[in-house]
Structure 1
Amino acid sequence: MTVQPPVDDADVPRYWRELGLPGLVDVHVHFLPERVQAKVWQYFEAAETHYGPAWPVTYRLPEEERLAVLDRLGVRAFPTLPYPHKPGMAAWLNQWSHAFAAGRPQVLQSATFFPEPDAQEYVEEALDAGARVFKVHVQVGAFDPRDPLLEPVWARLQEAGTPVVIHCGSGPLAGEHTGPEPMAGLLEVFPMLQLVIAHLGMPEYRDFLDLAERYDGVHLDTTMFATDFTERLMPFDPADLPRLAALRDKVLLGSDFPSIPYAYAHQLAALHRLGLGEDWLRAVLWHNGARLFTIEA
C-alpha cells in the first residue's frame, strides 16, 4: 500500500498511522509569553512590508487551543523555542519556558541565550533546571554566534550534548551575521556541537547541506521547507535532493507552528511530494527527533 499525503489537518493522524508511526516529533514549535507572542504576530501582520508577500497566521489562537490543535494532529513532542531580541530577556524567557513545560510531558523544556556577561550563568541554570533544547535566532538577535561572550556557553552546550535549534540562514530576511560563514567558523572551534539548522538553512541550502555532511552533530529541520509559500520565495534546487535523501538520519520535522501562513498538513504534504520515500519520511517525522530527544513510542 502506498500512503497518500494528508489532505487537511483532520487527515494528519491517518497519515502518520499509515506510515506506521506513533505520532510526530516537531522540533520547531513556538510558545512564547503572551505579550511577546502578540508582538511576533503584529510583525507578521505587516509581512508585506518586510517580506513582500502577505503572511497570515493560520493558528492565531489562545494558548490552550493551540495546545489542543497539536494534540489532535498527533504531535507527541515539541519545544517552545523562546528567543530574545535584546540583552536582559533571555533569563526571563528561560524561567517562563521552564514553568510552561511543567506538567506538560509533551513539551521539550526549552531555553535560549544572548551574548551578554551573564549568559554562561543563566545557561547553566537552565541546564540544571532540565532544559532539553536551546534556541538561537541570529537574524532577530542581530549578533554573531562567534561573539567571545558566547564561547563558554558553546563550550558548555558541546560538553552537555544539548541540541540547539539555530536560525542562521539568510531567509526570509538576511541579517548582518546570517549565512553559512559564521556557522562554519563556530563549528571549527566547537565541532561536536549538536546543532539543528532551522529551515534547512534557507536560502543557502547547499552550504548547510555541506555542514551537515561534514559534522556529525549538525542536523537540519524542515521548517517551511518545500512548501508552496517558500518555493515561491526561496526555491530548493531539485539537483540536491539526492544529498537530502542521503542525510535521512539528520533531517528533523519542523513546522514553525503556530505562525505559519498555511495549514499544518501542508508542511507534511510538501515533504511527501519530494518523493524521497516512506523510509525517509518515517525517519524525519518521528525516528530522528525521537532519537535526538529520547522520546519513547
Structure 2
Amino acid sequence: MPVRGLPFDDVVTELREAELAWLGPDVEWFDAHTHIGHHDPDGFEADPEEIVEALDVAGQQRALLFAMHEPDGYREANDWVLKSCAESGGRLVPLGRIDPKAPDALEEAHRLLAAGARGFKLHPRSDAFTLPNPVVDEVVALAGEHRLPVLFHAGRGIPDLGSSVVDLARAHPGARLILAHAGISDLGPIAPHARELPNILFDTSWWLISDMLTLFSTIPPGQILYASDLPYGGPRFPSLLMLRCARAVGLTPEQARAIAGAQTARVVDGADLLDLGPAPGEDVPLGRRVLAFERVIA
C-alpha cells in the first residue's frame, strides 16, 4: 500500500502555502521519522520510492529512514534500509532498528554503524521491552561514542520511560536521544529536565494540537525536530502543524527553519547542535486555553 493519506494532504495546500511564505525560501527540510517495511502487524507498509515520492510532493529534501516492525527480526530489514539509503542520492539517511531482546542486538548495532547507519531506532511497544534496560544502555553508549542519535518511540502504548531517558542522557552526553511523537508518553515530567539536557530532543510526528502546543511552549526550539511518521500519513499536514505551532508560541522564522531540517542534519552528522534560545514558556499567550486540561481530555 502506498503512503496513506497522501492524496488527502491536498486539503491543507493553501493553508500550508501561507506558512511557507512566513518561513521563507530555500529551506532544507529533513524529516526525522520515516519507515519502510512490509510485515508490520498493524497493516501499514511502504517502499523507499514511496517515501521519496511523498517528500517530493511536499517539496522536502531528506528524511531519516528505518525499518517498520519486523516480527521475525531486523537484520534483513536493516540491510534493505541501508541499501535504499545508499541508492537514494542522499535523500534518505539510515537508522538501524535494534530489538534489545535479540541475542545479537549489540553485534547488530556495531555492524550497522560500520555499514553506514547514522544511529538507531528503538521501539519499546512493538518490540516489548521496558526501561531501564542494560542492552539499551549499551546501545546508547555506543551512539554516544559517535555523537549519534537514538530515536525512541515515545507515543501511546508504552510504560513510563521518562526517568530512564533522563538518566541515559546524563550518563551519555554524546548521544542524542530523540523522543518520537512529541514525547507525549512523558512530556510533562521530562520537560523540566530536558531544558538542562540539550541531548534530549523531541520529534513532531504527532497530530493533537494540545500536545504539540505544549511541546513548543515548554521545550527549547533547538530540541525540537520536524517529523512526519511516513507512511502513516502524508508530510504536508505535519509540516503545516509544525509551522502553525511554532508561530503560535512566538518562534521566529529562523528558529522554525532550524526545526524544519538544519538541526536534524547536525544530529546525524555528529556536529554541535544549534542553540536556538529558551522555550517560550507555558504562559505564552494562546488565547483562552488551558493546555494541561486539553491534554487530559484528548
Do they superpose with TM above 0.5? yes
Q: Deviation digits for residues 41-73 of structure 1, max 9, x if unmatched?
A: 36xxxxxxxxxxxxxxxxx77653442221231
Quick one: which amino acid aligns to residue 282 of structure 1?
R
2:242 aligned with 1:271: yes
Q: Distance in 1 between matches of 2:151 and 2:261?
A: 17
Q: Distance in 1 between matches of 2:82 and 2:212?
A: 39
Residue 28 of structure 1 is aligned with which of 27, 33, 38? Answer: 33
Q: 1:149 to 1:294 in 2, by over 3 A?
A: closer
Q: Distance in 1 between matches of 2:224 and 2:212?
A: 17
Question: For structure 2, which runs of at least 5 residues remain unmatched after alignment?
Answer: 1-9, 271-298
What are the residue-to-residue correspondences of 1:85-100 with 2, within 5 Å? 89-100=73-84
Q: Deviation digits for residues 133-155 of structure 1, max 9, x if unmatched?
A: 31111122121243223443222
Question: For structure 1, which runs of at least 5 residues remain unmatched after alignment?
Answer: 1-5, 43-59
Question: Would you say the 8 A contact 2:146–2:174 is kept in 1?
Answer: no
- What is the deviation of 1:189? 3.4
Q: Distance in 2 between matches of 1:129 and 1:198?
A: 24
Partner of 1:182: 164
2:13 aligned with 1:41: no
Residue 164 of structure 1 is aligned with which of 131, 134, 150? Answer: 150
2:125 aligned with 1:128: no
- What is the deviation of 1:159? 0.6
Residue 290 of structure 1 is aligned with which of 257, 262, 265? Answer: 265
Aligned length in residues: 254
Q: 1:237 to 1:197 in 2, by over 3 A?
A: closer
- What is the deviation of 1:197? 1.0
Residue 229 of structure 2 is aligned with which of 251, 256, 265? Answer: 256
Question: Would you say the 8 A contact 1:12–1:265 is kept in 2?
Answer: yes
Quick one: which amino acid aligns to residue 200 of structure 2?
V
Root-mean-square deviation (CA, aligned residues, Å) is 3.0
Q: Deviation digits for residues 177-229 of structure 1, max 9, x if unmatched?
A: 443133234334334321111112114322232342122311111111xx3xx
- What is the deviation of 1:241? 4.7
2:150 aligned with 1:200: no
Q: Distance in 2 between matches of 1:219 and 1:239?
A: 14
Q: 1:10 to 1:96 in 2, by over 3 A?
A: farther
Partner of 1:49: none
Question: Would you say the 8 A contact 2:119–2:143 is kept in 1?
Answer: no
Question: Would you say the 8 A contact 1:10–1:73 is kept in 2?
Answer: no
Q: Distance in 2 between matches of 1:110 and 1:66?
A: 15
Q: 1:23 to 1:189 in 2, by over 3 A?
A: closer
% identity of equivalent residues: 21
What are the residue-to-residue correspondences of 1:14-163 with 2, within 5 Å? 16=20, 19-32=24-37, 34-36=38-40, 39-41=41-43, 64-84=49-69, 89-104=73-88, 105-115=90-100, 116-163=102-149
Q: TM-score, normalised by structure 2?
A: 0.73
Question: Would you say the 8 A contact 1:29–1:80 is kept in 2?
Answer: yes
Q: Deviation digits for residues 81-112 of structure 1, max 9, x if unmatched?
A: 225565x6122222121122121020002211
Question: Would you say the 8 A contact 1:26–1:78 is kept in 2?
Answer: yes
Q: TM-score, normalised by structure 1?
A: 0.74
Q: Deviation digits for residues 9-60 of structure 1, max 9, x if unmatched?
A: 588678547523333111011122x334xx3336xxxxxxxxxxxxxxxxx7
Question: Would you say the 8 A contact 2:35–2:68 is kept in 1?
Answer: no
Q: 1:14 to 1:111 in 2, by over 3 A?
A: farther
- Find the residue that maps to 2:78 and give its secondary structure: helix
Q: Distance in 2 between matches of 1:61 and 1:92?
A: 16
- What is the deviation of 1:293? 2.8
- Find the residue that maps to 1:236 and give its secondary structure: helix
Q: Distance in 2 between matches of 1:256 and 1:172?
A: 14
Q: Distance in 2 between matches of 1:188 and 1:217?
A: 9
